[in-house]
Chain A
Amino acid sequence: MFYREAGDFKTSYRADSQTFPIRLDRMGYFAALIVAYAVVPFFIDDYWANAVFVPFLIYAIAAIGLNILVGYAGQVSLGTGGFMAVGAYAVYKLMTTFPEVPFFFHVILAGGVTAFVGVLFGLPSLRIKGFYLAVATLAAQFFLVWLFNKVPWFYNYSASGQITAPDRTMFGIYITGAQTSAVAKYLFCLVILTLVALMARNLTRGTVGRKWMAIRDMDIAAEIIGVNPLSAKVTAFAVSSFFIGIAGALLFSVYLGAAEVGESFGINKSFLVLFMVIIGGLGSIFGSFAGAAFLVLLPVFLKNVLVGALGWPTDVAAHLELMIVGALIVIFLIVEPHGLAQLWRIAKEKLRLWPFPH
């Protein structure tokens, strides 16, 4: 009753193909943007930035990247952690080699480097599919982590084998390093996430997105109607790795500040982002946000409840947290395999009719 498209007529194809065709959705979108840009920055403190907002923004970027590959193009990947590491080490090398170049460009370039590496590891996808491709990308994951551990050039021969983000500023405000304020971290990641989400949405609603989905739904038919499978798969790997690389670069430079490849970008990270995509909803940009929010917020929420409210010991809470997150993932997959995005769609469908049953 409140949520409906009645009276919302489209008179041009441009209006019909916009991102949010329903007026209420559009209002919700602008409201979210206003809150994110104009309200949150005034209330954010170090705890909220580090525990919730910054990881959410960064993982949302990674989830959008992986969703393009898995959800839109149908190519399974377990190499996300490795590709994030490429972004992190690329941005580290760029920051230390070209300190005079603005940091923003370092992040974008790091994405570009990752896109190139992603294409290299994506080439086998022309021949192999499904589980076998997953195993091939798993090999990429382990190879990349091994590479960044073994070759000292990547970590500038530092004694610890770690990479540490040097201080960098934009418009005189610290973005990386110890002096960075919570607001600066938050806003920098938010701007990049906004750009990434818009680009992902534009790509997926246009020709490229249709090519990806055609390959996903039926690759033989896609080829018969004129989709070059090699170029479609390679662009999917490139765009996906570009976003994942940016996420890796931000995770290292803005969020962690210092990183060791096996610990920060191991196979766990690959699974974490994959869970976000699956729980959020394959083939949905909104789902990527929802999945990232769910898996970032859930542990924080559980910790606050178990340790904060119930007063349990921290170690017990930590173990319980793992069990609860695991159980929730399984329940989710059984109850709603299409993820939070599908739940959202169903809820909207119900709202359209409410209070009538049909």
Chain B
Amino acid sequence: MKDMVEGYTTPDGRQIGGVLMELKNITLRFGGVVAIKDISFDIREGEIRAIIGPNGAGKSSMLNVISGFYVPTEGEVWFHGQKRPAMRPYQVARLGIARTFQNIALFDGMSVLDNIMTGRLTLMKSGLLSQAMWWGSAAAEENEHREKVEKIIDFLEIQNIRKTPVGRLPYGLKKRVELARALAAEPKILLLDEPMAGMNVEEKEDMCRFILDVNDEFGTTTVLIEHDMGVVMDLSDRVVVMDYGRKIGDGPPDEVRNNQDVIDAYLGVAHD
């Protein structure tokens, strides 16, 4: 079913491309604590890749390594077939990697529209002086990007809260606005850190639909961390399972579900 160069076809008939990002032997240490231990996996173009595991398994650390927030102690990150040098997070963002956070990181003092517009900062070029004068390029650029942002607002069905300050929104909507901000960057890889944490069933269903629609509509490669097993099994094309900083499983959901190590990690077998 899988081919390392050509990609593969999912059971529901979507064509998955070649390797977009490859993580090679990533180890992340904080002093004596080993958060991630020698993990390798790849992310393919157009797929929905899930990272699962019990609490403290190192999933979020893994996402932080991908988004450049942590620099791995050992190992390499390959992106577009090139080794990615050590970078600051804002430089990684400019490569086209956008993310959301487990505990929402929106800008509370700004409106929903402005928050989503910040997602496009990496794509906006006009200089300080032309913005100060609001002549020609700055104003034109603003409107051009506003149009793109409005499309995302339509897509995520948040038209009615466009001008509302984010601080006033309920939790579920904040999560959606954060997704909108990440999407506004037109990312090559979209990282979602527990997009459904703390949501009720309907909100979860909405969010699932959005994630699938995004993947379908824009072909966005998505990496997500999630605790809800049902969600993960339904959404993802391939799953990485982590436990205590190590990778204990990697493959399509059905394969992972029947993996003995994974069952042990989730059901709780004494670790040696």
Contacts and interface: CB of A to CB of B under 8 A. Distances in A.
B55 interface: no
Contacts, number: 104
Interface in B123-181: 124, 126, 128, 131-134, 138-139, 142-143, 146-147, 150, 181
B214 interface: no
B128 A225 contact: no
**Is the contact region of chain A dominated by helix, strand, or loop, or is it mixed?**
helix
Contacts of B101: 221
Contact of B110 (A199, A210, A224): A210
A206 B118 CA distance: 10
A226 interface: yes
B37 to A, nearest CB: 25
A224 B93 contact: yes
A227 B90 contact: yes
Given A207-B124, A225-B98, A228-B90, A217 B107 contact: yes
B56 interface: no
Contacts of B131: 202-203, 206-208
Interface in A203-232: 203, 206-208, 210-211, 213-214, 216-218, 220-229
A203 B146 contact: no
Given A213-B107, A213-B114, A227 B121 contact: yes
A253 interface: no
A17 B146 contact: yes
Nearest to A215: B107
A207 B130 CA distance: 11
Nearest to B144: A13
A12 to B, nearest CB: 8
A235 interface: yes
A108 B125 CA distance: 26
A211 B90 CA distance: 12
A221 B133 contact: no
A208 B128 contact: yes
Contact of B93 (A16, A207, A225): A225
B107 A224 contact: no
**Is the contact region of chain B dominated by helix, strand, or loop, or is it mixed?**
helix
Given A218-B107, A224-B67, A210 B118 contact: yes
A16 B134 CA distance: 14
A229 B91 CA distance: 11
B185 interface: yes
A217 B110 contact: yes
A12 B150 CA distance: 12
A206 B125 CA distance: 11
Contact of B114 (A13, A210, A220, A223): A210
A206 B69 contact: no
A14 interface: yes
A218 B132 contact: no
B69 A221 contact: no
Given A199-B132, A224-B89, A206 B142 contact: yes
Contacts of A228: 88, 90
B90 A216 contact: no
A55 interface: no
B146 A226 contact: no
A246 B185 CA distance: 37
A283 interface: yes
Interface of B: 67, 69, 88-90, 93-94, 98-99, 101, 105-110, 114, 117-119, 121-122, 124, 126, 128, 131-134, 138-139, 142-143, 146-147, 150, 181-182, 185
20 contacts: A13-B143, A13-B147, A203-B128, A207-B126, A207-B138, A210-B118, A210-B121, A211-B121, A213-B109, A213-B114, A214-B107, A214-B121, A218-B108, A223-B89, A223-B93, A225-B93, A225-B181, A225-B185, A228-B90, A235-B128
